A and B are shown apart, each in its own frame.
Chain A
Amino acid sequence: MNHRQKEEYLREYSILKNQGKPFWPYAVAKDGAMAAVVIGSIILMSIVLGAELGPKADGTTTTYVPRPEWYFFFLFELLRIIKPPELVPLATIGIPTICMILLFLLPFYDRGPERRPEKRPIATTAGIFTIVAMGYLTYLGAAAGSPNEIEMEPPPSVVAQGEQMVEQFESGKQVVAQAGCLACHKIGENGNDGPGPHLDDIGARVGRDAIARTMVNPTAPMPSYAQLQEENPERFNNLVAFLSQLKGEEEE
């Protein structure tokens, strides 16, 4: 806006303002009605939906659901969509930071005098696109469950190694299912596709020791299972044993 446009706007605005009504009591009445609706809805939600409290936090192992509050789903889903590890920082920080900067600077790069949405096609389209994208990502996040059961028979190579191996495989499978790995990894038909990689053939790609090291000292955003190793080494070993037996062979 140049100087003339600014003056014009201020003049036009002062006329419109003078033709309006005083804040008290007219706007206050509307604001008050809206406030009553807002507080009323909160009270209603509190009574109907209550406030649940899950089991106590436990750093070792668990049936946990590493899920944020629903209004963060759209950020979390970005991670699922952008999967290559070298791009993860882009999804986690890059895109949100860029969006934040664009949002902060909006009044400084969109300086035209026009205010009607239908006369600002770029701004309006971008706004609607953002809303649709965030809505869609939130929907995806809400739809993705966090299963804590794995349906998978021990593969022939495990059975061939004898009774004891099968037992270890089975109990390791339990630990994986309960430790919430499936929220971010896919094993066979189980779990979510990302942000983490598929684990179907993790045993073929990575050695047993390397798997154990990753569990203790993972790349972000995966949480560390160091506490599990310290406090329950047997479960931890079963977990690693199970993963290192996944060679991606029982795919048909």
Chain B
Amino acid sequence: MPKLKLPAPPVPPAFKPKPRRPDEHQHTAIDHAKEGGIGAIGWVDERMGASGFGRWLMFRKVPKGTNWFYTLGSATMFAFLNQAITGVFLAMYYDPNAINAYESVRYISNEAFLGEFVRGMHKWGSSVMVILIFLHMARTFFFGAYKYPRELNWVIGVALLILTMAMSFTGYLLPFDQRSYWATVVGVNINGTGPLVGPYLSDFLRAGPDFTATTLSRFYAIHMMLIPGAIAALIGAHLYLVTKHGTTAPPWMKAETDPDLRTEKE
């Protein structure tokens, strides 16, 4: 943790607490509740020491000129969280074996409470996440944000992009309807044409030379344990580096020298 002297954050005027009047009663229930809350936070912080991290994360400055394009990264993260949460609810009903998979998805769509809605959010959320990740990548590309000292963050980003596409690929099979089945058969075959590792990769995905019942459970395990874990960990590393280096200023911003340095102070 770098030892930073952080300035008190400027609070917009409307949110500034009003100073207490001298004759004000200090022992209302609200006052007690406030003190209780602060006391509890203090208790935890005394034992965990996380407030330094919180200040480091929240009260760092973002450079002058930061604009809406800079929200695309966090928007990608929220799309990922949406996938994670809706995915948990789908997993409560989904049955990853070739005999029951289709039926369980049909049950989710037609019978389970809000089932089709949650499935729809997961399905369309995947498109939204892919669009956002490409937009975010385009932003960092055109702003030259991959240059020194943020090269490593770009590399982590590309890994996230590949993993996101792998999520889409493995998830597409799970409803186990005609379209998803045949698209995946062709997709795995395409993998197999690759040089050297191609055939091995295909055999690994299919769990053997043929498309069998094990293939589905393998895709399921990859889709809901292996890749999401890797993505979550990499997003953590990505955001750590973002916070550490700070986000870039837009490339056309020029630093003005502090006027105090130029003119004599009265």
Assuming the contacts A55-B177, A114-B144, asked whether A93 and B198 have C-beta atoms less than 8 A apart, the reply is: yes
A88–B193 CB distance below 8 A: yes
A46 to B177, CA, bound (A): 19
Q: How far is the CB of B189 from chain A (nearest CB, A)?
A: 4
> Looking across the interface, which residue of chain A has its beta carbon closest to that of B72?
A34
Residues B143 and A20 in contact, CB atoms below 8 Å apart: no
* Residue A30 CB within 8 A of the other chain: yes
Of A116-124, A166-174, A234-242, the one with at least 4 CB within 8 A of chain B: A116-124
> Which A residues touch B122, using CB under 8 A?
51
Residue of A nearest to B252 (CB): A116
Which of B61, B106, B185 counts the most chain A CB atoms within 10 A?
B61
Q: Does A19 lie within 8 Å of B63, measured CB to CB?
A: yes
| A40 → chain B closest CB, angstroms | 11
Task: Give Cα A53–Cα B187 distance, bound, in whole angstroms.
Answer: 20
Contact A115 B62 (CB under 8 A): no
* List of A residues within 8 angstroms of B70 by Cβ: 27, 30
1/0 per residue, CB under 8 A from A, across B168-200: the answer is 110010011111111101110111111100100
B11 to chain A, nearest CB (A): 8
Contact assessment for A53 and B190 in the assembled complex, using a CB-CB cutoff below 8 Å: no
Interface size class of A (residues with CB under 8 A): 35 or more
Q: Which of B112-137 contact A (CB under 8 A)?
A: 116-128, 130-132
A42 to B125, CA, bound (A): 6
Return chain B residues, CB-CB under 8 Å to A67: 179, 183
User: Does A156 sit within 8 A of B, measured CB to CB?
Assistant: no
Does A160 reach chain B (CB closer than 8 Å)? Answer: no
CA distance A88 to B248 in the complex (A): 41
CB neighbors of B among A36-68 (8 A): 37-39, 41-43, 45-47, 49-51, 53-59, 62-68
Kindly supply a per-residue 1/0 record for chain B positions 92-107, scoring 1 wherever the CB is within 8 Å of any chain A CB and 0 otherwise: 0000001000100110
| With A16-B249, A116-B252 as contacts: A49 and B75 at CB distance below 8 Å | no
Q: Smallest distance from the beta carbon of A112 to chain B beta carbons, Å?
A: 8
Chain B residues, Cβ within 8 Å of A115: 143-145, 147, 248, 251
Which B residues are CB-close (under 8 A) to A37? 75
Q: Contacts of A104 on B, CB cut-off 8 Å?
A: 155, 158
* Known contacts A106-B146, A127-B141; A53/B58 CB under 8 A: no
* Min C-beta distance of B107 to chain A, whole Å: 10
Which residues in B have some Cβ–Cβ distance to A below 8 Å?
9-12, 57-66, 68, 70-72, 74-75, 78-79, 82, 98, 102, 105-106, 109, 116-128, 130-132, 138, 141-151, 154-155, 158, 161-162, 165, 168-169, 172, 175-183, 185-187, 189-195, 198, 211, 246, 248-249, 251-258
**Contact surface of A with B, Cβ cutoff 8 Å:** 1, 6, 9-10, 12-13, 15-28, 30-31, 33-35, 37-39, 41-43, 45-47, 49-51, 53-59, 62-72, 79, 88-89, 92-94, 97, 100, 103-104, 106-108, 110-117, 120, 123-124, 127, 131, 180, 220-223
* Given A23-B57, A57-B180, 12 new contacts (CB under 8 A): A20-B65, A21-B62, A22-B10, A30-B70, A31-B71, A34-B71, A42-B82, A42-B121, A42-B124, A57-B98, A72-B168, A94-B195
